[in-house]
Structure 1
Amino acid sequence: MNKYLINRLLIAIPTLIAISIVIFAILALAPGDPMGEFAMNPSITAEVRENIRKSLGLDQPIHIRYVKWFTAFITGDMGYSFTSRSPVIGLILQRIPTTLWVVGSAYLVGVLLAVPLGVISALKRNTIVDTILTTLVFFGFSLPTFFTGLLFILIFSIQLKWFPFIYNSTLQVTDLQSFIAQVKQSIMPISVLGIWQTAMLMRFVRSEILENIHQDYVRTAYAKGLPRFLVINRHVLRNALIPVVTLVALEIPSVFTGALVTEKVFRVPGIGALLIDSIYKNDTPVVMAITFIYAILIVIFNLVADILYGLLDPRVKYTK
């Protein structure tokens, strides 16, 4: 196991370096100028704009800029935003609690619902229960989150007036009343993301349960007199969750980077909304930091998924 982890880490380092080079080159060569907003301001002369460009390091060759950025990043310095002139790490840390609350809660709801519903749908195959669940999954997976979000706003905010459709980022949770208000404004974005996550994961759980439920080891377990509950939980579900673990692990980074569309629909001030706004404003340091953090999280959770394989299935051996 230790040798396997070391080898994977040694592979991950050049992989992340290559990813950082590609991302930095794409953003550096992309159309758009961070100084474009100053060009329309007559009070800022060309000389001043050039001085600002030099202070931001935009006058240097791309390879020098990359080396400086990467060296600073690995020491914890993500640079400064071109637009707000605030530290990038401060902007990200400011948005993370909201993203973890909304997107993390939705992901947790999706996992907790998808596994039991997928098992029930597989065990009740070709019954009315299975038909209802698969139909709901089809709609939940097919409808884009922006459409579902707008539908929720029309029904629950405008018509029924149950929940606010604009997320209040200034709300401070200090007492029970403010906590209830925080929960109310979070219900719709969490529900929209939770429906999509549940639909996506439930399809895989159902298909894996159906694939394993007729295997020889299941018939052997029944032949030994084990009750159905133990057979499903100790044997079928444990094997069926192995490919699902990969999907769950690869989706966890999105919990930290936010849901781009849903955050914009409900005006949730999360990481996803920050990324979109930064792209519009050509704020390269912010875009670069969030994108590279996302790449790091994907590499890490890929490794986590591989480790969980061994815990779920003893037949998995780590050779390299």
Structure 2
Amino acid sequence: MRKVLYYLLRALALILVAISLNFLLVHLMPGDPLLHILGEEEYFTLYYNYPEILDKVRAQYALDGFLFEQYIRFLWNTVTFQFGKSYISGQNVVQVVLFRLRWTLVLSVTAIILSSFVGGALGIFAGYHKGGRADSALTFVFLLFETIPANCLALIVLVIFAFNLHWFPVGGMASGGLTGWAKFADTLYHMVLPVSVLALFKTSTNFLMMKSFVSQIRDEEYILTAEAKGLPRHKVLFRHVLRNVAVPYVTLLCMQFGYMLAGSMLIEVVFSWKGLGTLIYDGVIQHDYPTVQLCFLLIAVCVIFFQFIADILAWKFDPRIKDGAVIHEA
């Protein structure tokens, strides 16, 4: 119980640090936020002729006072989940972010689930038969994909399968004028390319990590003893190999879930998928501070939460972790 409390307090402290950094980074960005809210012409008109009106507008958007006063106000607004309205659209920031969030989750969760099974299975096979032809071929292929930048591979896939072959749509999330099951099927059709690219990158990581885990224990005495006793290969894999690599692999998957909100940003931009990634991209370009702050905060909390889950799982199920040890990221 003491260990769980330690992990919980560490997570809460990291969340406080993330909130503070989130506030400072956004407020130290160049440019007055009011310039983007009012427009250049109206801003400078008020600035030179009616500064008192500009001060009222600044107070309306909670941009007045010293930096420390704004920080305290930001902490309170964060606790009460009040992030105001978007500087660009004028809509409630929480509603906009939550709407975009679900579309990022559709992409990321699907890709993580697919890659966890495919990458894990291939990694076990390659690690158990290390040095073989299949191991060499799979390792070469996945190392190649691991080194290609995500946006480059996404553009290549887009050009080949959308522009040249016309097998899939160029971008977007759905065609207009559809309802019901037709709209659902059309959304799945639009998901194929972005999910495939995202899953391919995660599969490469999962394969290489799982192969490394299995290779480390492949020649351990208990594995060799089990094989010498004549146990079937599938029993050796499930009873001995898989049981020992499950904890670090689950820890790896937890970290992938932690980074899922930010990991698909470039993919979303390339395929015009209106998720959290494109919202962050547009918010940074247009200096939409409230939207960017909430997005960054969600990403940080997601990473910290799944790191907390990974620590608890590793501490609970891995007997090699002694009391008082600190779990590090896989």
Considering the TM-score relative to the shorter chain, is it more than 0.5? yes
Tell me, in whole angstroms, the C-alpha distance in 2 between the residues paired with 1:12 and 1:166. 38
Change (3 A) 1:241 1:97: same
CA deviation after TM superposition for structure 1 residue 242, in Å? 2.9
Q: Which runs of 5+ in 2 are unaligned?
A: 326-330
Kindly report which structure 2 residues correspond to 1:168-179, keeping only aligned pairs within 5 A, or say none.
Answer: 168=173, 174-179=179-184
Q: Does 1:200 find its partner at 2:199?
A: no
Tell me, in whole angstroms, the C-alpha distance in 2 between the residues paired with 1:173 and 1:242. 44
Kindly report which structure 2 residues correspond to 1:122-137, keeping only aligned pairs within 5 A, or say none.
Answer: 122-137=127-142
Tell me, in whole angstroms, the C-alpha distance in 1 between the residues paired with 2:186 and 2:195. 14
Residue number in structure 2 paired with 1:79: 84
| Aligned partners of 1:12 and 1:299 also within 8 Å | yes
Residue number in structure 2 paired with 1:23: 22
| Aligned partners of 2:146 and 2:205 also within 8 Å | yes
Residue number in structure 1 paired with 2:309: 304
Where 1:41 maps in the other structure, the secondary structure is helix
Change (3 A) 1:286 1:51: same
Residue number in structure 2 paired with 1:40: 40
TM-score relative to the length of structure 1: 0.91
Tell me, in whole angstroms, the C-alpha distance in 2 between the residues paired with 1:318 and 1:104. 33
Where 2:65 maps in the other structure, the secondary structure is coil
Of the candidates 169, 189, 194, which is equivalent to residue 194 of structure 2? 189
Which deviates the most, 232-241 or 95-104? 232-241
| Aligned partners of 1:69 and 1:79 also within 8 Å | no
CA deviation after TM superposition for structure 1 residue 204, in Å? 0.7
CA deviation after TM superposition for structure 1 residue 39, in Å? 4.5
Tell me, in whole angstroms, the C-alpha distance in 1 between the residues paired with 2:113 and 2:223. 29
| Aligned partners of 1:257 and 1:290 also within 8 Å | no
Identity of aligned residues (%): 27
Residue number in structure 1 paired with 2:3: 4
The Cα offsets for residues 31-82 of structure 1, whole Å up to 9 and x where unpaired, read as 1222223342359831354432221111221111111121121122233222
Q: Which runs of 5+ in 1 are unaligned?
A: none
TM-score relative to the length of structure 2: 0.89
Residue number in structure 2 paired with 1:151: 156
| Aligned partners of 1:165 and 1:266 also within 8 Å | yes
CA deviation after TM superposition for structure 1 residue 209, in Å? 0.5
Of the candidates 133, 145, 150, which is equivalent to residue 140 of structure 1? 145
Of the candidates 64, 75, 78, which is equivalent to residue 70 of structure 1? 75
Residue number in structure 2 paired with 1:276: 281
Q: Does 1:290 find its partner at 2:313?
A: no
Q: Does 1:95 find its partner at 2:100?
A: yes
Kindly report which structure 2 residues correspond to 1:218-257, keeping only aligned pairs within 5 A, or say none.
Answer: 218-257=223-262
CA deviation after TM superposition for structure 1 residue 312, in Å? 4.1
CA deviation after TM superposition for structure 1 residue 257, in Å? 4.2
